[in-house]
Amino acid sequence: MLAMAILSQPAILEPAPSHARFVSFALHPGADPAAVLRALAAVEHDPKSVIGVGPPLAEGLGRRVAGLRAFPGDVPPFPSTAVQLIGGALASVLLMLFFETPHWQWTPRFAAALAWNTLAMSILGMAIYNVMLDRHGAGRASSGFFVVPGASALMAFVLLNEYLSAMAIAGLAASTVGVVLVWWRPAAR
């Protein structure tokens, strides 16, 4: 049996780093997780490493961890979007009522901007993001956030006659290439 010092992961208690790498693995039905874990234990790890164990792996080892449960994969994207947006709206309204004196002036432009931000950017955007999470996982879905600045800059260029510097265009190209690399899969041979 390994000593407790080897089993502890002090990085769990440290602040989250500004950047990190994540690798996830799926346990195939009938696979022996113990052999994989023995190989993993033999590898020297950085003290800042954190290794997470999910319910299938714990069950495959015949262990029970109190409070460890699988994230429900059967939550449809649109109800989960509604829950997120309602919770965010309630928190925002409470903070606004506590810290601000609300005031606004209704104009057609304000109503159009409010409708756009509410319907397209919030409800539709979060629904699309939740569908991406459901179908493609967090790594790929989160890469979509790198498309937003470029799309916004291009919309501002086309609709508002904004200027795009050479540096901005280079940055947009680099982030687009990064997103393509995250989503690209080589053809099967």
Enumerate the H helices of the chain as residue ranges.
4-7, 33-42, 55-60, 77-99, 108-115, 125-143, 147-160, 166-183
d(Cα 154, Cα 120) in Å, to the nearest integer? 18
What rounded mean pLDDT belongs to the chain?
80
- What is the band of 71 on the pLDDT scale with cuts at 50, 70, 90? low
Q: What tens digit of pLDDT does each residue of 98-150 get? A: 999 888 899 999 999 999 998 888 888 888 888 888 788 777 888 888 888 88
Q: What pTM value is reported for the model?
A: 0.50
Residue 68 has pLDDT above 90, yes or no: no
Are 9 and 51 in contact, with CB atoms under 8 Å apart? yes
- Cα–Cα distances in Å, from 66 out to 50, 63, 189? 19, 10, 44
Q: Where are the domains of the chain?
A: 19-70, 77-183
